[in-house]
Amino acid sequence: MPIIEDMSVIDAEFSDFLLYISSEKGLALNTIESYRRDIESFVKHLALSNIEDFRDVTHENIVSFLATLKAKGYASATLYRTFITIRVLFRFLKREGVITTDITIYMAAPKQWDFIPEVLTVEEVEALIAQPDITDRIGSRDKAIIEILYSSGLRVSELCSLSIYDIDDTVIRVKGKGGKERMVPIGTKALEALDHYLLNHRGEDADPAAPIFVTKKGSRVDRTAIWRMIKKYVRYADIEKNVSPHTLRHSFATHLLDNGADLRVIQEMLGHATIATTDRYTHISNKHLTESFEAFSPSRGSD
């Protein structure tokens, strides 16, 4: 899989790595594609430094690459994932004998909660939800999408895959990562928005296996369309934060924790395999607590 014409050595090793993760690790297609994009971008960065062999890569090259992504405005979670991808690559290269020393084992991996994701306030969520025009088919659909993303904390890929029979009056049947199924409660407002959309704009769809959310042409919505839709309504609501569909998931978990929900319950609702992944929301919630204290502490300001 040639990336840059004059980097045949790295190209060959990159191709071997993609074959490895595709066949031996059994990763999902989306994960493999993320690995491919991350390493392809890394290889292009190395080319700018005239590095043609992975054996010549230094700690500074990796840090410089991540710093370049950060300067371009990449989300912290993306930087974290990219770093882990590079680690997997170098572990593979060491195993295959391409390199003698895995330089990434000496680099401290940033803890996931060091990359605190953007979280909306309750008021910002309400402003976002208020933007779609529910008298319109697309606006009605968009409002239901935003309501469900926030009230149930779904991943955008999980929402895109929903069919009509996956939701009843109390819960959503969600197929998460690895094909694992879980039941997630649906909020009253989200259910009302969904019912409005289905009754007023999807009444002709009798098949319960039909996708819930469709485009103007009737095909299932995809994650790119939802990402663009969220960005549009964020502009309409004058929200200055960097918001994506995943921001609503982060906001859902953080607001639950702020209101006393048990971390194990949040883990189940989010479909996290381990409590460690969910635990980062404790750090987000504590950050909000600190900011609130600093803003409203009686000792703040002049006497």
Q: At which residue do the structure tokens 């994650």 appear? A: 223
DSSP string, 117-164: PP---HHHHHHHHT-S-TTSHHHHHHHHHHHHHHHH---HHHHHT-BG
Most confident by average pLDDT, 15-19, 151-155, 226-230: 226-230
Q: Tens digit of pLDDT for each residue in 36-65?
A: 889 889 988 888 878 888 888 888 788 878
Domains of the chain in sequence order: 8-110 (1.10.150.130), 122-296 (1.10.443.10)
**End-to-end Cα spacing for the chain:** 68
pLDDT computed for residue 300 by the predictor: 36
Question: Residue 164 — φ and ψ, nearest 5°?
Answer: -60, -40
Q: Tens digit of pLDDT for each residue in 127-160?
A: 999 999 999 999 999 999 999 999 998 989 899 9
Q: At which residue do the structure tokens 């700690």 appear? A: 59
Residues 208, 163: contact at Cβ < 8 Å? Answer: yes
Q: What is the mean pLDDT of residues 202-210?
A: 72
pLDDT computed for residue 301 by the predictor: 40
Bridge partners for 171 per DSSP: 185
Closest-CA residue to 236 (of 103, 139, 132): 132
The answer for residues whose C-beta is within 8 angstroms of residue 117's C-beta and 6 or more apart is 75, 76, 77, 246, 247, 250, 284
pLDDT computed for residue 110 by the predictor: 55
Q: Tens digit of pLDDT for each residue in 65-81?
A: 887 887 677 777 788 88
pLDDT computed for residue 303 by the predictor: 40
Catalytic residue set: 155, 177, 246, 249, 272, 281
Residues 187, 152: contact at Cβ < 8 Å? Answer: yes
Task: Name the residue with higher pLDDT: 263 or 10.
Answer: 263
Task: Name the residue with higher pLDDT: 12 or 247.
Answer: 247
Residues 153, 214: contact at Cβ < 8 Å? Answer: no
Q: Which of 103-112, 169-178, 215-224, 251-260 has the lowest mean pLDDT?
A: 103-112
Residues 173, 183: contact at Cβ < 8 Å? Answer: yes
Q: Is the pLDDT score of 2 beyond 60?
A: no
Q: What is the mean pLDDT of residues 169-187?
A: 85
